[in-house]
Structure 1
């Protein structure tokens, strides 16, 4: 199986970047659980301090969304299961300065352009029999937004978590998720992320072997 995890960092200049607060904990926990189930895991991870010590998990470290896309695109054709757990930056600077931008004046304007939507792009070339899972971190209209992503990105299921739920989202060891499928919704209570990972893996396994 193929899994993305962590944030992406989009360079502004050699010392600054646009990023987010993702730690990668959820994605790494899912990788561990899949490996324990006997899967060979290709883990493509953005910048994180996490490590994984399992010979069944092959880690490819990337920094930017473009690098993650290239790594995932290369590995996707061989995957039976693809889980897009990374928090990929939506935008990147249109121009990256080759030298540190000096502090001058009171304002600084940076023009941004959209990053590639990795799950959506690979959803267009999804192979027959591939099972793909996305993640949606929302702050409002959670279920509606998640269902739109489920359809738009040609996913089999999407894992929704809301920043309105205490203890969920970034910078926590816990998470509270609802898994949405085209014809089913499964809600879970707040749990440790390794337990959430097991719930996700169990449901994927259940759907694959139904």
Structure 2
């Protein structure tokens, strides 16, 4: 039976690499897939991994009907044996519904890859809908690590090297309107709560909201 499978994890856990590997393995067996992505680091219409691998993809724009796109593709004589969706957290909930319809009505496996929560530890709407609808949810087995060596479970955003917990859920690009550098880092829950990034730890500083702990 075809499935909607959600592969989830933090940044740096190999989601895009696995997406490329799944596509490669099926292509080697003579299957042909359609790859969707959204706001990839390599630019529009690309699926890339941090290992340097990249392939062409269909950019899933905000109002794009993914089910309609595939129906049109097939009706024009195109072939699709499976569907891969990277950066699925950026999709709208209704687009996740469309992916479920691709599985149920077109009989295609859909492999979706995405981050579960944002830098504020809140669920992305696309990821939430995938959790609600997916036939299967797979946690990526390659564990990203916090700077302290513990398993990284949270994504942190830094602006000018300082961790922030407010702002737009999605920031595309490397700089904001103030030209302050925007970066991301994976942290364990403890250090995310304390806003203690690798840079802050190296400087020997703690967030001002961390209270000292004393023992009686």
TM-score tier, shorter chain, comes to 0.3 to 0.5
**TM-score, normalising length: structure 2:** 0.35
Greater strand share, 1 or 2? 1
Instruction: Please identify the structure whose Cα radius of gyration is greater.
Output: 2
Higher RCO by CA contacts (8 Å cutoff, separation 6 or greater): 2
